């Protein structure tokens, strides 16, 4: 909607230097960090269980787009090598 970054990408990895979040439980609508984790979990779910209606917006590929900024070595026993602890 607003254009893109140099090179044509619609997003840019800008690592945060400092994080600050209250330790008070709150609704996820009021916490950016909880929203980020919720999106990451939903992106993983949609990558493994895609819906045609969500594929139109690319949600089935969102987890793969986020993969380069993750640390899959955190759980090396994941058979898909994504660093995910799975209940099988």
CA gap 82, 23 in Å, rounded: 29
The pLDDT value recorded for residue 79 is 85
Mean pLDDT, range 68-72, rounded to an integer: 79
**Which residues lie closer than 8 Å to 68 by C-beta, 6 or more apart?**
13
- Specify the pTM: 0.64
Confidence of residue 14 (pLDDT cuts 50, 70, 90): confident
pLDDT, tens digit (0-9, with 9 covering 90-100), for 24-63: 777 778 788 888 888 888 998 998 899 988 888 888 888 8
Nearest alpha-carbon partner for 41 in 28, 23, 52, 24:
28
What are the structural domain ranges in the chain? 28-75
């Amino acid at each position: 909607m607003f254009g893109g970054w140099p090179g044509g990408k619609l997003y840019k990895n800008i690592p945060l230097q400092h994080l600050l979040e209250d330790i008070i439980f709150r609704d996820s609508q009021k916490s950016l960090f909880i929203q980020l984790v919720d999106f990451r979990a939903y992106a993983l779910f949609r990558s493994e269980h895609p819906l045609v209606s969500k594929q139109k917006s690319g949600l089935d590929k969102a987890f793969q787009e986020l993969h380069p900024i993750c640390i899959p070595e955190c759980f090396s026993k994941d058979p898909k090598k994504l660093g995910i602890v799975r209940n099988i």
